[in-house]
Amino acid sequence: MPAVRHVQTDKVAESAAATWSNCLVIGNEVAMSGMTAHPASRQASLDTYAQTLVVLGKIRDLVEAAGGTLGSIYKLVIYVKDIDDKDEVGRARRAFFKAPYPCSTLVEVSGLVFPELTVEIDAFARLDIDLQQAVV
């Protein structure tokens, strides 16, 4: 049975009262809970592009704390409140990733945990890969 490691970093708050883990490493697999721009979204009015940058920054910080890089991320599941924001999400993704990009699913949802949130992202990574080394 592979070892399980709960990854935490001061860069991404995880409440002691939380009933979830932000990031688990199981063997070489990294699974992250859905990340949002909260609490930054409460401190300032952020559009979807800005929220996506905050979220991808949290994902980067967690994968690095787990021992990986942005190139370790192979799959994103993106939830948006308005599908018309897909171009803003794509623009933010291009600011973080280079080709070949992680696989992705984009889904419009009716709501997220707080009303000001417009995007939430699940991320999956493997510590034994680097997409930037992929043969295209």
Residue from 115, 131, 132 nearest 51 by CA: 115
The tally of domains found in the chain comes to 1
Rounded mean pLDDT, 112-126: 97
Task: Tell me how many degrees the CA angle 91-106-64 measures, rounded to the nearest 5.
Answer: 65
Mean model confidence pLDDT for the chain:
95
Kindly give, in sequence order, each residue whose CB lies less than 8 Å from that of residue 64, ignoring residues fewer than 6 positions away.
9
Find the domain containing 34 and state its range: 4-133
Task: Tell me how many degrees the CA angle 93-21-119 measures, rounded to the nearest 5.
Answer: 30
Q: Give the predicted TM-score (pTM) of the model.
A: 0.94
The per-residue pLDDT for range 19-56, each reduced to its tens digit, is: 999 999 999 999 999 999 998 888 889 999 999 999 99
Is the pLDDT at 97 greater than 90, yes or no?
A: yes
CATH of the domain at 37: 3.30.1330.40
